[in-house]
Amino acid sequence: MLIAASPVPLTFPGGRDLIGILPELVLGGAFLLLMLLDLVIPASRRSWLAGFALLGIAATFGVTIWAWFDANPGRLVYSGSFAYDRFALFVDAILLVSAGLVVMISPNYLNRRGIHYGEYYALILAATLGMMLLAGATSLMVIFLAIELLSLALYVLSGFSRHEERSQEAALKYLLLGGFASGFLLFGMALIYGETGHTQLAQIAAAIQGQTTLTVDPLLLAGVLLLFIGFAFKISAAPFHSWTPDVYQGAPTSVTTFMSVTTKVAAFAALVRVFTYTFDGGGTHFYQHWEPVVALVAITSMVVGNIAALTQTSVKRMLAYSGIAQAGYILIGVAVGPVLLPSGQTSSFGTIGVLYYLAAYAVTNIGAFAVITIMAGRGEDLDSYDGLRGLAHRRPFVAASMALFLFSLGGFPPTAGFFGKFLVFTAAINAGQVPLALWGIATSAVSAFYYLRVGLLMYQRPAEGAEEYRWSRTGFSGSAVLVATTAGTLILGVMIVLVYTAATASLKGLIV
């Protein structure tokens, strides 16, 4: 039997294609250059590599900003398998800022842990590259490749503390379970391909529009759900989250900082593009078939994440469960999807909420993890709650910013976290999914307990005779990161319009 000819003939990439992946090209170039530099730079000068990595990220960020203005309107490149649009660029910007902040806090931490190897920065760039590709991917193939690229880099990074059993264990767990989840993802893709005959999102969307609401193809739906499960693993949504606490705790803290934020950001970007905008099904309202499942996973995540966080005694595990819960909140925005208003217009409020939440989560969570990265003592991680006891009396500024991050994670105004939650809850209520918002509000109340508990610990006086944790010096780069994340957390809470406008614009430019 003959395989049907591709409707788009294969061509050599032209200039327009290359411009479409210009940010990715620059970052990829930086990645290769960094690998070479590692060979010539002596071991005592490894911090220079951080500088070069930062330069590469800054250059990519600059190109991304330029592309933001160029990609209006955006277009599909490489025969429709990659989107050069503002949506991807908005997500790229979040990813690059996050990567930059992580690179800034890394050298001191890695030196103190004795694991300062040159490939660290190359791996960070490789993972970021994978994430940027994921944010723009419009073909199931590119999505899969991007996920594998970012995952492979993260597997290695998780086990970066080579001499530490816990880190090795984390890497192995992540690798095995990640491979397992990739199986589900691929199986889902295979089913979708089998049922629609296409791998490109635009054509899949067209094929789904051909369905009728009454007789939806069960295999197609099974494929969609399996694909979602694959993504749910990446965003660590319950009940597909089991790996998260162990890996977050075992991996070096700077790596945890990086992957806790960026993986979620990239995977959510893909979720929005694939589910909210490809599987919506246009007039057939196909989304009604998968939305309840997403809502269910969102609720499970919020409940499991928040409740499990209550009894943790390790900061990293607590933040891991907090991340699971946050994934649940962001999923609300995905579950709400595009809402058909009575006026006939489509409101994409939920998606704006997702984007805002991601930006807010990125600055806040990086800030919180940065504090325990920067403060960690020589040769160890700052992990137990006791390590933060009395921090406020020794490092008032660090403790104050940590308190701010905790408030933001808990969703207190006027911080970034409040408006993230506010937007997704509002979207849920607008869409008539009030129970979803109520679950969110109730679990937020629970979350205040464990966030504020850590906050209180920092402001407690250490017990008489008790030994204080030996916190490290903040250092210049550490201070800069804390100042930046503090400012970001406040600005996203006080000047909502800045990011809100950008998110709205990026959504308008979204193409499938």
Partner 1 sequence: MNVSTASILVLLVLLFPLAGAALNGLLGPVFGRRFVNIAGTVSIFASFLVACLVLATVVGAPSGHGAITVRLWDWINLGGGTNLSVGMDFTLDALSALMLMVITGVGFLIHVYSVGYMEHDTGFARFFSYMNFFIFSMLTLVLAADLVILIIGWALVALSSYLLIGFWHDRPTAVAAARKAFITQVIGDVALVIAAFLIVLNTHTLSLPNIFARTQAFPAGGALVTGVCVLLAIGAFAKSAQFPLHTWLPDAMEGPTPVSALIHAATMVTAGVYLIARFHVLFNLAPVAEGMVACVGMGTAVMAGIIALSQIDIKRVIAYSTMSQIGLMIYAVGIGAYSAGMFHFAMHAVFKALLFMAAGNVIHALHDEQDIRLMGGLHARMRWTHLAFAAGSFALGGFFLFSGWFSKEDLLGFGTLSGPGPAPWILYAVGVGVNVLTGLYAFRLYFTVFQGEPQTARGFGVKEAGYPMLIPVVILGALSVIVAWPLQFPLPNTLHVFSDFLSPVFAGSQSPLLHDPSFGLALVALVIGSAASLLGIGLAMRLWYEHRPDPQVVLASLPRVIPLLSYNKFYFDEIYDRALVQPVRAVARTARRVVEPDVMDSWVQGIGELLRGFSLDLRLVQTGLIRDYASIFTVFAVVLVVVWVFIAR
Residue ranges in contact with partner 1 by CB under 8 A: 172-173, 176-177, 180-181, 184, 218, 221-222, 225-226, 229, 233, 239-240, 242-243, 245-246, 289, 292-293, 296, 304, 307-311, 341, 343, 345, 347, 349, 352, 397, 419, 423, 426, 430, 446, 494-497, 500, 504
- Whether a cis peptide bond, with omega within 30° of 0, leads into 239 is yes
Instruction: For the CB of residue 331, give the shortest distance to partner 1 in the complex, in Å.
Output: 14
> With respect to partner 1, which residue has the nearer C-beta, 273 or 289?
289
Token pair listed for 307: 């409740």
Distances (CA, A) of 452 to 407, 445, 469, 493: 8, 11, 20, 19
In angstroms, rounded to a whole number, what is the distance separating the alpha carbons of residues 396 and 191?
55
Q: How wide is the angle at C-alpha 451 spanned by C-alphas 424 and 453, nearest 5°? A: 155
Instruction: For the CB of residue 345, give the shortest distance to partner 1 in the complex, in Å.
Output: 8
Centroid of chain to Cα 228: 16
Instruction: For the CB of residue 454, give the shortest distance to partner 1 in the complex, in Å.
Output: 16
Instruction: For the CB of residue 431, give the shortest distance to partner 1 in the complex, in Å.
Output: 12
Q: How wide is the angle at C-alpha 234 spanned by C-alphas 219 and 410, nearest 5°? A: 120
| Secondary structure class of 385 (helix, strand, coil) | helix
Instruction: For the CB of residue 153, give the shortest distance to partner 1 in the complex, in Å.
Output: 21
Residues 6+ apart with CB under 8 A from 5: none
Alpha helices in 376-433 (DSSP H): 391-394, 396-410, 416-430
Instruction: For the CB of residue 340, give the shortest distance to partner 1 in the complex, in Å.
Output: 12
Q: What does the buried/exposed string (b/e) look like for 17-44 if buried means 16 or more CB atoms within 10 Å of the residue's CB?
A: bebbbbbbebbbebbebbbebbeebeee
> With respect to partner 1, which residue has the nearer C-beta, 129 or 391?
391
> With respect to partner 1, which residue has the nearer C-beta, 86 or 173?
173
> With respect to partner 1, which residue has the nearer C-beta, 8 or 176?
176
Please classify residue 297 by burial: count the beta carbons closer than 10 Å to its beta carbon, then call 0-12 exposed, 13-18 middle and 19+ buried.
buried
> With respect to partner 1, which residue has the nearer C-beta, 207 or 307?
307
Instruction: For the CB of residue 424, give the shortest distance to partner 1 in the complex, in Å.
Output: 13
Instruction: For the CB of residue 96, give the shortest distance to partner 1 in the complex, in Å.
Output: 25
Token pair listed for 93: 């910007």
> With respect to partner 1, which residue has the nearer C-beta, 125 or 208?
208
In angstroms, rounded to a whole number, what is the distance separating the alpha carbons of residues 291 and 190?
21
Judge contact between 422 and 350, C-beta under 8 A.
no
> With respect to partner 1, which residue has the nearer C-beta, 120 or 240?
240
Instruction: For the CB of residue 268, give the shortest distance to partner 1 in the complex, in Å.
Output: 20
> With respect to partner 1, which residue has the nearer C-beta, 63 or 295?
295
> With respect to partner 1, which residue has the nearer C-beta, 368 or 499?
499
CB atoms under 10 Å from CB of 15, counted, come to 7
